């Protein structure tokens, strides 16, 4: 009941604030579309660089809404009430992560096939791209929750949050783009996808605990 209530609340707040998902998708589409406009209509070149471009654009899009994961609750005092409630802090983190993924990661995945068409990607390559994002975007939200918890309450902490998270996002970027590139060249993406799955399980085990500890320190201070 608490989990469902918090998820619905986050979805409503994301819509009222301006739509984190719409902002992320808009940035994703515009950022990815700039490359074909700048490089030109070289289909072979566009297909070759598409994996890296699409993953970097998705990664940067996720960063746009991370600073609001706990900031809005901290500003109106809701975060203190939630941390003092019987609801587990780890459960709170998982709820906020799931809400962030629903409003940011899922819209990005839905928009990915349409953006991938501009890079002349084949159906099999596009399916690998979607699968890699299904595994990778939750990792971005989980790791992002740790950074958002560490920077909550800091004015203009968006830049600091980006500096903290970008190095941690590198493994997801490498194996996410690598899986698409491997499919593009007919090598097989199984190894890259398995590593992404391992990163997801590791993040699911460690990140909620780390983020909950950071929020406890913030509430006590």
pLDDT in tens, 63-80: 887 877 777 777 677 777
Q: What is the pLDDT of residue 141?
A: 92
Q: Provide mean pLDDT across the span 27-50.
A: 83
Give percent helix, percent strand, percent coil of the chain, each to the nearest 5: 85, 0, 15
pTM (whole model) above 0.75: yes
Of 204, 195, 163, which is closest to residue 176 (Cα–Cα)? 195
User: Would you list the domain boundaries of the chain?
Assistant: 2-220
């Amino acid at each position: 009941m608490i989990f469902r209530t918090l998820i619905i609340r986050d979805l409503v707040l994301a819509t009222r604030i301006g739509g984190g998902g719409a902002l992320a998708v808009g940035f994703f589409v515009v950022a990815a579309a700039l490359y074909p406009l700048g490089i030109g209509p070289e289909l072979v070149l566009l297909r070759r660089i598409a994996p890296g471009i699409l993953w970097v654009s998705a990664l940067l899009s996720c960063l746009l809404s991370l600073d609001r994961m706990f900031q809005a609750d901290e500003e109106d005092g809701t975060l203190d009430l939630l941390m003092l409630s019987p609801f587990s802090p780890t459960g709170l983190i998982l709820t906020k992560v799931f809400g962030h993924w629903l409003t940011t990661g899922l819209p990005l995945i839905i928009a990915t096939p349409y953006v991938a068409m501009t890079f002349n990607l084949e159906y099999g390559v596009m399916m690998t791209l979607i699968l890699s994002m299904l595994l990778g975007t939750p990792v971005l939200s989980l790791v992002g929750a740790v950074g958002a918890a560490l920077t909550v309450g800091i004015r203009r902490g968006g830049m600091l949050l980006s500096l903290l998270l970008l190095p941690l996002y590198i493994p997801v970027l490498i194996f996410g783009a690598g899986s698409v590139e491997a499919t593009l060249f007919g090598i097989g993406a199984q190894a890259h996808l398995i590593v992404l799955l391992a990163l997801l399980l590791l993040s699911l085990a460690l990140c909620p605990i780390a983020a909950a500890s950071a929020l406890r320190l913030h509430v006590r201070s």
